[in-house]
Chain A
Amino acid sequence: MSEPLETLFEGEEMELSFGPQHPSTHGVLRVMLKLDGEKILDAKPIIGYLHRGTEKLFEKEPFPQCIPHTDRLDYVAAATNNQGFVVAMEKLLGITIPPRAAYIRMILAELQRISSHLLWLATHAIDLGAITPFFYTFREREEILDLFESYCGARLTLNTMKIGGVPFDLPDGWTATCSDYINRLPAHIAEYETLLTGNRIWKKRTIGVGVISGEEAIEWGLTGPPLRGSGVRWDIRKVFPYDRYNEVDFEIPIGNNGDTYDRYLVRMEEMRQSARIVRQCLDRLPDGPVMAKVPKVIRATEGMVYGSVEAPKGELGYFIVATEKATEPYRCHVRPPSFINLQALPDMVRGRLVPDLVAVIGTLDIVLGEIDR
C-alpha cells in the first residue's frame, strides 16, 4: 500500500453491480450502474438468471398441458396467465365459452389483480422504508389465496382455466364468502391510503421520481399501470374485450405526471375498480354449464394467432403458431409485460440517485419469472 488514499477516489465514475441478490430487485434482476457519487449516470439491466425455456417446453406439450407452464411465468398472478393462454387458444380454435364460465374467469382474474397489486404495494412500500402496509396488505391477500384454495385447491400456481371454460363450478358458499370479502375491501384500501397517500415521506420519495411521458411510454412499449400513469387511457379489457368484459361497468384510472406517485394512485384505483367488477359479476352470475363443447383431443388448424389479456402488469399476449391438425403448438411466444416495461428503466433513472432506482424498480412492478421465462 505504497500509494496514498487520495488516488482511491480520483476517478469520477464508479461501476456498481446492483443485484442479483439485492432484496429490492424483487428476484434475480441485476442492474449494472455507472455512478458519479450517488448519481446514476447509466444503468443496464442484466436478466436471464431465471430462464427456464418455457417457450421451448410449450412446443413439446399438448395444448391443454401448456396451461400449468403459464402459471410459472408471472407466479404472483397465475390466473391471468392462464386466461391469456386460453383466450388465445379459443381464438385459434373458434370456441365460444358459456357465459357462466366467462363470469367465473372474470371473478378469478380480478381477484388475482387485487392480490397482485396488494403484493406490489407491500413490497414497494417496504423498499421505500414503509414497513407497516405490508402487514395489512398480506392480511387481505391471504383471504384471496384462501378463496382460490377453496375453488381449485391451489393458492399460487392455480392452473384454473381450461380451453373452453373453467374446470369446476364454484363450490357451495363460495360466492357468499367472496361477496363478503369484496364488501370489506374498499375500507381496507382506504386504510392503506391513510398510511401512504398523504404521508410526507412517501410523497418525497415518489413524486417526480421515474418520470416518463406518454409519448415515451408508447415508444418504449409500456403497458398496464406504467402506461396509464403517464396519462394514456388504454386497457385491453376495454379495447379488445375478452370473456365478458364488455358487459361490466368499470373505469380506467389514469395519472397526469407519469411519476411513481401517479402509478401508485393508478394501482390503488385499479383495485377498487377490480372490486367493482367482481361485485357486478357476483350479482349477475348466470346459470349454465362452465365448459363449452370441446373435443377431447384438441387439434388446431394451420395459422397464427395472438391473443392478449390485461394482466396486472400490463398487456400479456400469447402468440401461437399451429400447423394443420397439430396437437401441440409449433411455436408459442409469450409477450410478457414485465420484460418490455423493464426496458424503460435506464431512461427513467438516468440522472437520479440510487434510492430512486429502488423506487422505479418497485413502481414498474416486475416479476422475474415472466421476464426470463
Chain B
Amino acid sequence: MTEDNGTHTPGDGSTKPDQPVEPGSVSPEEREKPAQPAPAADAEDARAKAIAAAKLAAAAKAKAAEESEPKPPWEEKPVPPEHEEAADDPDVAAVAEAFDGAVTTSDRFAGDPTLVVPRGRVEEICRHLKNQRGFAFLVDLTAIDWPGREEGRFDIVYWMHRFEDSKRLRLRTVAAEDEGVPTVSGVWKTANWMEREVYDMFGVIFEGHPNLERILTWEGFNGHPLRKDFPVEGIDTGAAIYPDVYPPGGGPILDGEGEEAAE
C-alpha cells in the first residue's frame, strides 16, 4: 500500500486522484475548494462554512480531551518489547569478568537478560552462577532447533532464578548436531530430567549425564520429535507391532517401503 506502482486492483482500497471520492471521506476544507461555485449557492456556502467550523471546533475539543486524558493502555495499539544491550546487568558483567571472553553476546528482551556463552564452558559458568551469584534454582532447561543455521543447529537455553531479589537470568549456548553439551545435572539435580527430555526430543547429547535415556518416548524409538524435520503427522513406528514386516528399530519409512512389503 505504501508504494504506488500503477497496478491498482479494484479491491485494494487505494484511491486514485482522478476518481470521484465518497463525500464522507472529504475533509471540510476540501469541500470548499470547488473551482466553479454554483451561482445560487451563496447561502449554501455559508452554511457549509458554519458546519465546517463547528466540526473543526469539535475535533479540536476531542483532541484536547485526548491529550489531557490519555487513553488507557488496553485501548492503544500494543507496543512490543524491544531488544536492548544487557552488558550493564550486574550478573552479566560478573560472568563476563570471571570468565574472560566467555560472554559473546548479551541481550535484554521484555525485561529478561540473556547471555550467550560457549558450549564447552556451560558447566563451570552455571556452577559459578549457582555458588557465587546465588542462582540456586534452575527453573527451566530446553532447546530450540534452527536447522541449517551456520553457528550450530541447536540453542540450549537455561533459565535460572535467585530467591534473594527474585531475579531471573537466561543462559543460551549453541551446539551443532554432532556436538555434545556438558551436563549441568551435577550443578542442579533438577536438570537431570530436563536434559533427558531435551535428549529425547532433540537428540542433543549431554556429556557426563548419569542416565541419558529417553523419557517421553520409548527406548528404541527412532527419531527426535521436536526437530523441525520430524513430520508433525508422526512416523510409522510399526516395527514393534509387525517385526516381520518392518525393520527392527522402527523409524521413518521412506516412500512407503514398509507398505509395499506388507502387501
- Chain B residues near A317 (CB, 8 Å)? 139-140
- Residue in A101, A164, A221 whose beta carbon sits within 8 Å of that of B137 in the complex: A221
A303 beta carbon closer than 8 Å to chain B: yes
**B216, A373: Cβ atoms under 8 Å?**
yes
**B136, A98: Cβ atoms under 8 Å?**
no
Tell me the smallest distance from the CB of B231 to a CB of chain A, in Å: 10
In whole angstroms, how far apart are the Cα atoms of A48 and B197 in the complex? 10
Q: Considering the complex, give the chain B residue whose CB is closest to the CB of A238.
A: B166
Segment 230-252 of A: residues with Cβ below 8 Å from B: 232, 234, 239-240
- Chain A residues near B78 (CB, 8 Å)? 93-96, 292-294
Q: How large is the interface on B (under 10, 10 to 19, 20 to 34, 35 or more residues)?
A: 35 or more
In whole angstroms, how far apart are the Cα atoms of A96 and B79 in the complex? 9
**B109, A303: Cβ atoms under 8 Å?**
yes
Q: Considering the complex, give the chain B residue whose CB is closest to the CB of A50.
A: B216
- Chain B residues near A289 (CB, 8 Å)? 74-75
**A315, B192: Cβ atoms under 8 Å?**
no
The B contact surface, by secondary structure, is: loop
B121 beta carbon closer than 8 Å to chain A: no
**A92, B110: Cβ atoms under 8 Å?**
yes
In whole angstroms, how far apart are the Cα atoms of A321 and B154 in the complex? 13
A17 beta carbon closer than 8 Å to chain B: no
Segment 121-143 of A: residues with Cβ below 8 Å from B: none
A6 beta carbon closer than 8 Å to chain B: no
Interface string of B144-175 (1 = CB under 8 A from A): 11000000000001010001001010100000
Tell me the smallest distance from the CB of B215 to a CB of chain A, in Å: 6
Given A293-B78, A301-B81, A373-B216, A56:B226 Cβ within 8 A: yes
Segment 88-104 of A: residues with Cβ below 8 Å from B: 91-98, 101
B47 beta carbon closer than 8 Å to chain A: no
**B190, A219: Cβ atoms under 8 Å?**
yes
- Chain B residues near A94 (CB, 8 Å)? 78-81, 110
- Residue in A101, A293, A321 whose beta carbon sits within 8 Å of that of B75 in the complex: A293
25 A-B residue pairs with CB within 8 Å: A48-B215, A51-B217, A56-B226, A92-B110, A94-B81, A97-B74, A98-B74, A164-B74, A165-B74, A218-B136, A218-B137, A220-B190, A221-B138, A234-B163, A292-B73, A293-B77, A303-B110, A305-B112, A306-B170, A308-B139, A331-B142, A333-B140, A333-B142, A339-B193, A373-B216
Residues of B within 8 A of A (CB): 72-81, 83, 109-110, 112, 114, 136-140, 142, 144-145, 157, 159, 163, 166, 168, 170, 188-190, 192-194, 201, 214-218, 225-226, 230, 232, 234
Kindly list 18 other residue pairs between chains A and B, CB separation below 8 angstroms, not including A56-B226, A331-B226, A372-B216. A51-B217, A56-B230, A60-B232, A91-B81, A91-B110, A94-B79, A95-B74, A95-B78, A96-B73, A97-B74, A221-B190, A232-B163, A294-B78, A306-B140, A308-B139, A333-B140, A339-B193, A340-B193
